[in-house]
Structure 1
Amino acid sequence: MYTPQQPGQSPLPRTLEPEPMDDESEVQEYQQMDHDGVNGAFVDDLIAGGSVGPKVVDLGCGTAAIPVLLCQRLGEIEVLGVDCSVEMLEAARIEIELGSVTGRVFLEHADCKLLDGFQDAAADTVISNTMLHHVAEPERVMAQAIRILTPGGRLFLRDLARPASEADVEGLVDRHAAGESDYGRQLLRQSLHAALTVDEVVDILAALSVPPEAIRMTSDRHWTLDWIKPN
């Protein structure tokens, strides 16, 4: 369960960053960063928290690291990874082949705020990992995620939480990106500035009839939504 912001606290203003990472050199830099721990924790928590699939949609799949891990862990699922970056999807095709999950992980180039080609109730599970902070209007992504989720299906979203101060941002960068390149450290710094606060997430989801009890902080820098869509 989340803890509401205390009276008198004033978080940093949200500073947006460009939505698609569609430059080949940027994607290569991104791939050189160490995402194994975060991706592994996401998959572990998803599996531990309830049923998954069989039809899974990953919004903002990037290089498909999580769909690959998920299919390696669970034998009876298929994952459709959606991303608006062509370069990310090109890298994902290689990762799918290397991960020996060809024929179980599929890719779709689409804007997660629209998903025009997706029918209502198309997925049993909808997931997304640290994508929402890239989006200027994350409420549109959340609304689409709920729309394509079947009644009784599971929505599992995780993203960064915007800290209250510059000092908190730098503390998290030092703690979690100490071994990264200058690019990697700056990427985390920008992402923390672009992230939502938990209170902002709660307000967005309240308008979509998702209760605040479904949202909680799950690390020193991540919030997680784990929710079953009512039948």
Structure 2
Amino acid sequence: MESQEEAQQYGQMDHSAVNRQFVDDLVAGGDIGLQVIDLGCGTAAIPIQLCQRLDDVRVIGVDSSISMLEIAKVEVDYAGMLDRIFLEQGDAKAIDEFQESAADTVISNSLLHHLADPKHGLEAAFYLCRDEGRLFLRDLVRPGTDAEVEKLVALYAEGESGFAQQLLRQSFHAALTLDEIREIAGGFGIDAEHVQMSSDRHWTIDCQKPT
């Protein structure tokens, strides 16, 4: 989403149900603490919903796309959250530019499939999360066949633009399988029981940061 046009088209897509479910599951799953970092925050929809839900939470939203962050700044301002949501440009491959162990909880929604090496997403989350803090990471699951991809695109992007449908299609093809993310997570000390299917198209890691 490097161009303003692409970022605007992404912002016009309807992610409301997915974002609401993300926040619902995050809040229901356990303690969040006061300081949250959202890796790949996009237009900041999830930070805004989270701060609307919990009065004492502050969120740092990190994204590599300046165009997305420009839209996010407008959305945060419109929501009246400039004092609780702070936006930073950052890359998961160079996350050491940020303060280590800065967050009680690190969240991420659909970031890993955008990374050439998904391990960088987990490395960033571990770096930013305090000891015994919480990791809550969610992404798409790669279907087994092209036919399954098309079925999911038709089901969840019906009525969206051709751009949105193609973006979802590409995202499914770039995503990890459940076994693949479990293997990667295992390398960080995360047990497979903490990496579960959370919908017909998402996996979720929800655990305390292993020490």
| Fold equivalence (TM over 0.5) | yes
Amino acid at match of 1:51: D
Match of 1:223 in 2: 203
Match of 2:89 in 1: 109
* Superposition map of 1:28-177 within 5 A: 28-177=8-157
Count of residue correspondences: 211
Match of 1:209 in 2: 189
- SS of the counterpart of 2:93? coil
TM-fit CA distance, 1:217:
0.5
* Superposition map of 1:193-208 within 5 A: 193-208=173-188
Amino acid at match of 2:36: V
- SS of the counterpart of 2:96? coil
Instruction: Report the Cα distance in structure 1 between the residues aligned to 2:182 and 2:83, rounded to whole angstroms.
Output: 37
- SS of the counterpart of 1:153? strand
- SS of the counterpart of 1:115? helix
Instruction: Report the Cα distance in structure 2 between the residues aligned to 1:168 and 1:115, rounded to whole angstroms.
Output: 35
1:141-161 superposed Cα distances (whole Å, 9 cap, x missing partner): 201211221112100000000
TM-fit CA distance, 1:119:
2.7
Amino acid at match of 2:156: H
TM-fit CA distance, 1:28:
1.0
* C-alpha contact (below 8 Å) 1:114/1:141 kept by paired residues: no
TM-fit CA distance, 1:65:
0.5
Instruction: Report the Cα distance in structure 2 between the residues aligned to 1:150 and 1:67, rounded to whole angstroms.
Output: 19
Match of 1:23 in 2: 3
Instruction: Report the Cα distance in structure 1 between the residues aligned to 2:17 and 2:204, rounded to whole angstroms.
Output: 16
Instruction: List alignment gaps of at least 5 residues for structure 2.
Output: none
Instruction: Report the Cα distance in structure 2 between the residues aligned to 1:212 and 1:115, rounded to whole angstroms.
Output: 25
Amino acid at match of 2:209: K
What RMSD in Å do the two structures reach over aligned CA positions? Answer: 0.9
Amino acid at match of 2:6: E
Amino acid at match of 1:60: G
* C-alpha contact (below 8 Å) 1:82/1:109 kept by paired residues: yes
1:131-188 superposed Cα distances (whole Å, 9 cap, x missing partner): 1111111101201211221112100000000000000000000110111111111111
Instruction: Report the Cα distance in structure 2 between the residues aligned to 1:109 and 1:144, rounded to whole angstroms.
Output: 14
- SS of the counterpart of 1:53? coil
- SS of the counterpart of 1:175? helix
- Give me the identity figure in percent: 53
Instruction: Report the Cα distance in structure 2 between the residues aligned to 1:113 and 1:154, rounded to whole angstroms.
Output: 21
- SS of the counterpart of 1:116? helix
Instruction: List alignment gaps of at least 5 residues for structure 1.
Output: 1-20
Relative CO higher for 1 or 2, CA cutoff 8 Å, sep ≥ 6? 1
